Structure 1
């Protein structure tokens, strides 16, 4: 069975201004789909989506009227939201409106740690709990749900949270202990979601756990950074308390800092040492390697001539 009707109606991409959402929008447009890109505010990212050819709508995922405007006329939905204390409210609000309009596919972006959770097992992260509860609510909703659970993103711990240390001190300075991890690129996750939304019928009811190219420890990844950048990069396992203090000084919300701290603790416990072939099954390609990721973002890891 295939679903081909959606070329005539737009696919809603919630969280379109984020890493996954932006790439997903471009991929779906390239396949000939119409895309309605939902953003929180009008800014340069929204304009970039419009330049790609998307219909851009501004709205709040927790606002009922906003979701009616966003979802009406869409047959397929991608639901993604950044780490937020309002995540569960947003999920249920979007799901309620999606059910009202009778969508044919609802792709939910969750987290792979949910795989290790149950009615009796949780983590200290409020965000992990919200993801688990959101999955329960979607299961109860009767919606045609496809669940995507990626592991940690390359773009978060290995770019945004690591670039300054690599650039300024030749250090991969992270509180991840000595255990292994298998980070994945947001681009690869977008490719997986694009494949699902292109023809979702066979994916309804499935859960896809997505991991990266390999699972390795941080000393290994430091050597990969060294090879890709052409200079020696060393891993420094920094104390968690000082790391979270620095995140707060940068102005990150407490809910996000607490979530990142739990992720770091779970890394140190070996909970991110996991590998699947789900991505390959979906897109027929191996995940982006750390080497290729670092080469792609080399400028962000390299001192400028003015500061060298």
Structure 2
């Protein structure tokens, strides 16, 4: 019997790219599903991944991508279409005899969520559960990569502030690289994790002032937290041209954050992978160059 093959969707995104590399480093075959071929997919191909161009909203393309796959990672961007994509993916996975799916959800996913995206994630979890395909749901808190997203990174670089409507809420930022280690581990040994839902956190819970202090320490210059209101945040997102669906989600989860929904510290990654996730200090140290230029970060 040959080596198992794994499908990674969103393979040029933060978690998908890192999960692809983790699996390739372990000697597994990886089929990387991308929306288009570009320099990012070229780097994955050079690393050894099989590149497949496809659309998660096309049932036939997804069925073809899952052919011969042992297990798969499913992630969908914050935009309309998640439920349809989940139904197609679950059906295609069942037809293909896929033994496990790792589903990227979010920590605010719940029936009563006022965020349309978070509620859709809750329904998508239920769709996978109903399908009968063995599934593990991942519900991460805010990614450490939030510090690198242009809106946040640019205020740090240009004004020395983290400007968010998060009050004194707390969370333990979790890096995509650490999530990817868990994703790869579950895909290669899925049985103990089937049917489980894991909340994902970094190692140290902090408020935004604490995060700003950690960034200050690593960059060697003063960074402060400047709270803004959710209406101010909405206007900022609208001025930046963010889609209405994403803006509605971000504003609603900001309130969830203020109410403590994103809090917690790692109880899964260190135990399952044998290595604790990186702290904010470690993350900023790893990405120091990104905070030295006014060039936008993708």
Range of TM-score over shorter length: over 0.9
The Cα offsets for residues 104-142 of structure 1, whole Å up to 9 and x where unpaired, read as: 11111111223xx34xxx111001111100111111111
Indicate the SS of the match to 1:66: helix
| 1:21 aligned residue (16, 19, 23) | 16
Corresponding residue for 2:245? Answer: 255
Aligned residues: 294
Cα distance in 1 for residues equivalent to 2:5 and 2:113 = 37
Q: Give structure 1 regions of 4+ aligned residues with deviation exceeding 4 angstroms.
A: none
In the alignment, is the contact (CA less than 8 A) between 1:178 and 1:268 conserved in 2? yes
Cα shift at 1:247 = 2.0
1:294 aligns with 2:284: yes
Corresponding residue for 1:99? Answer: 94
Corresponding residue for 1:80? Answer: 75
Cα distance in 2 for residues equivalent to 1:297 and 1:248 = 28
Unaligned runs of 5+ in 2: none
TM-score scaled by length of structure 2: 0.94
In the alignment, is the contact (CA less than 8 A) between 1:167 and 1:300 conserved in 2? no
| 2:160 aligned residue (158, 163, 170) | 170
Corresponding residue for 1:219? Answer: 209
Q: CA RMSD in A?
A: 1.6
The Cα offsets for residues 142-168 of structure 1, whole Å up to 9 and x where unpaired, read as: 111112221111112x22141111100
Alignment of 1:129-208 (within 5 A): 129-156=119-146, 158-160=147-149, 161-208=151-198
Cα shift at 1:9 = 3.9
Cα distance in 1 for residues equivalent to 2:129 and 2:278 = 31
Cα distance in 2 for residues equivalent to 1:150 and 1:25 = 19
Stretch moving more, 22-31 or 73-82: 73-82
1:40 aligns with 2:35: yes
Cα shift at 1:302 = 2.7
Cα distance in 2 for residues equivalent to 1:247 and 1:43 = 27
Stretch moving more, 125-134 or 207-216: 207-216
TM-score scaled by length of structure 1: 0.91
